[in-house]
């Protein structure tokens, strides 16, 4: 049951201090109130991911960019109320159609609460991305690095789509990649710290046209000087997985991926909550933290 439907997020936040501390961190309550993010003047899209059933994923941002889940991306406990659980299957994803507002020109922030259960076998497991293998359909990609294994350690040889972005094994680090507006190769930026398995962590990447910054639990982790703009493309948004979105079909209200190769190379394993995209580079992520 989604408690926010009945009593509102502000009231539930106080009750969730104990639940979140015990159920999701494995410890006692931390003694301070955490608040879920709400739309503000620079919010482009905010998916609370708290639907209790069905395939529809509502957006509380100003453009109401409704998303649809695959059948294996299921409602679960989130960081605030409900969230979405992802598993290692090709049908575990959330999809939103292409929309130019998801590619802000003057600044950019992508952020989410993540609870990874495992690091992927291959280069990475995307959290969210407007990025496909179709020519000129790469804009930005926000991901959790995997173990970058090769057979026999890996189950199968991977397609290697992101080798250039993650050339070596960096399991647990954040990856933020952008395709520059001008001609040239994509650029990948890694966090210094790793994201722990089995706990909720707030992660964010920002870009203001001159500096890329990565944040973990509200604290600046790393920053890189880079001048330019993110390429505007027709790529849709794919959350919690990576495959060719042209292979999606309708299936009983859900979307279904029907690729020739059904191995879930890039499927995120764990939970996601409160995915937000903003039109400026945020510097304050104090909501939800001490």
- Residue by residue, pLDDT tens for the chain (290 residues) are 443 433 333 333 333 333 333 333 333 333 334 678 999 999 999 999 999 999 999 999 999 999 999 999 999 999 999 999 999 999 999 999 999 999 998 899 999 999 999 999 999 999 999 999 999 999 999 999 999 998 888 888 999 999 999 988 899 999 999 999 987 899 999 999 999 999 999 999 999 999 999 999 999 999 999 999 999 999 999 999 999 999 999 877 889 999 888 999 999 999 999 999 999 999 999 865 54
Q: Report the candidate in 49, 70, 60, 61 with the shortest Cα–Cα distance to residue 113.
A: 49
| Residue 240 neighbours by CB under 8 Å, 6+ apart | 73, 84, 86, 92, 93, 94, 125, 126, 127, 128, 267, 268, 272
Check residue 36 and report its DSSP letter.
-
Alpha-carbon span 108 to 185, nearest angstrom:
20
Helix (H) or strand (E) holding 16: helix 9-19
pLDDT tens per residue, range 101-112: 999 988 999 999
Q: Report the candidate in 142, 203, 206, 219 with the shortest Cα–Cα distance to residue 175.
A: 142
Tokens of 19: 């639940």
pLDDT tens per residue, range 167-178: 888 999 999 999
CATH number for 42-278 (one of 3.90.79.10, 2.60.120.200, 3.40.190.10, 3.30.230.70): it is 2.60.120.200
Percent of the chain with pLDDT over 70: 87
To which residue do tokens 């027709």 refer?
234
Give the end-to-end CA distance of the chain in Å, rounded to a whole number. 27
Is the separation of the CB atoms in 113 and 86 below 8 Å?
no
């Amino acid at each position: 049951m989604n408690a926010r439907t009945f009593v509102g997020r502000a009231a539930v936040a106080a009750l969730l201090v104990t639940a979140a501390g015990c159920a999701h961190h494995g410890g006692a309550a931390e003694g301070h109130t955490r608040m879920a993010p709400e739309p503000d003047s620079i919010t482009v899209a905010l998916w609370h991911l708290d639907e209790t059933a069905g395939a529809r994923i509502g957006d509380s941002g100003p453009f109401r960019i409704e998303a649809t889940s695959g059948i294996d991306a299921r409602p679960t406990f989130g960081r605030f109320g409900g969230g979405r659980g992802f598993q290692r299957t090709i049908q575990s994803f959330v999809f939103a159609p292409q929309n130019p507002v998801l590619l802000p020109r003057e600044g950019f922030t992508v952020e989410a609460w993540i609870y990874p259960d495992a690091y992927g076998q291959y280069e990475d497991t995307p959290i969210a991305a407007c990025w496909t293998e179709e020519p000129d359909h790469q804009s930005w990609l926000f991901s959790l690095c995997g173990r970058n294994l090769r057979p026999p350690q890996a189950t199968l040889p991977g397609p290697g789509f992101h080798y250039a972005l993650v050339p070596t094994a960096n399991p647990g680090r954040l990856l933020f990649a952008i395709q520059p507006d001008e001609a040239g190769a994509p650029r990948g930026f890694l966090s210094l710290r790793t994201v722990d398995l089995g706990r909720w962590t707030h992660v964010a990447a920002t870009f203001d046209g001159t500096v890329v910054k990565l944040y973990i639990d509200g604290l600046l982790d790393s920053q890189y000087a880079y001048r330019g703009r993110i390429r505007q493309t027709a790529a849709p948004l794919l959350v919690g997985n990576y495959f060719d979105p042209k292979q999606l079909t309708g299936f009983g209200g859900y979307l279904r991926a029907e690729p020739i190769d059904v191995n879930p190379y890039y499927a995120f394993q764990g939970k996601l909550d409160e995915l937000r995209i903003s039109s400026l580079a945020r510097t304050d992520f104090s909501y939800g933290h001490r």
